[in-house]
């Protein structure tokens, strides 16, 4: 059997084109996107959700599930594992500096208000409020001692 370099090159190039096409088709399913899924309720006042290095409050939400780094679990599990809320919301739109450093992150499902406000005791309030997409900076948020 005679070795035909031209046919080998054509086969290798064809295989590379097929692999590239499959990559383009399926690449979105392997992307490390952060996706929030929420269950809403009618309680439009902050309810303590989780307390670690910060206090996290739900506002108008009953449950928050997050897909992050291709792993899906409740938001509080990511927080317990040490994943900063800023990493989870970094892909969202934001409005900054409501009161000297507080940032509101939002998309079509959820709003996340990350407080950074001077308080009278000389420190900062760094509470986090997680609410439905219509939640904004409300009176009483980011206050406290």
- Return d(Cα 38, Cα 62) in angstroms, integer: 7
Mean pLDDT of the chain: 85
> Could you tell me the strand order of the sheet in which 35-40 lies?
35-40, 61-68, 71-74
Residue 50, pLDDT score? 96
Q: What's the longest Cα–Cα distance across the chain?
A: 88
Gyration radius of the chain over CA positions: 23
Q: What is the pLDDT of residues 77-98, one digit of tens each?
A: 999 999 999 999 999 999 876 6
Mean pLDDT of 17-28: 69
Residue 98, pLDDT score? 65
Residue 26 clears pLDDT 80, i.e. is over it: no
Confidence of residue 104 (pLDDT cuts 50, 70, 90): very high
Tell me the CA end-to-end span of the chain in Å, nearest whole number. Answer: 85
Percent share of the chain, pLDDT over 90: 52
Residue 30 clears pLDDT 50, i.e. is over it: no
Mean pLDDT of 18-38: 71
> Which position has the higher pLDDT, 143 or 59?
59
């Amino acid at each position: 059997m005679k070795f035909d370099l031209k046919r080998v090159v054509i086969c290798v190039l064809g295989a590379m084109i097929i692999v590239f096409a499959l990559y383009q088709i399926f690449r979105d399913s392997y992307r490390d996107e952060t996706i929030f899924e929420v269950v809403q309720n009618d309680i439009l006042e902050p309810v303590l959700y989780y307390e670690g290095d910060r206090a996290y409050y739900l506002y108008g939400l009953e449950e928050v599930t997050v897909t992050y780094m291709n792993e899906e679990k409740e938001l509080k599990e990511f927080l317990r594992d040490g994943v900063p809320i800023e990493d989870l919301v970094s892909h969202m739109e934001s409005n900054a500096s409501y009161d000297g450093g507080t940032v509101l992150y939002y998309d079509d499902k959820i709003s996340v208000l990350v407080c950074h406000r001077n308080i009278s005791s000389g420190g900062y309030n760094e509470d986090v409020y997680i609410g439905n997409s219509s939640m904004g900076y409300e009176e009483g948020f980011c206050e406290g001692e």
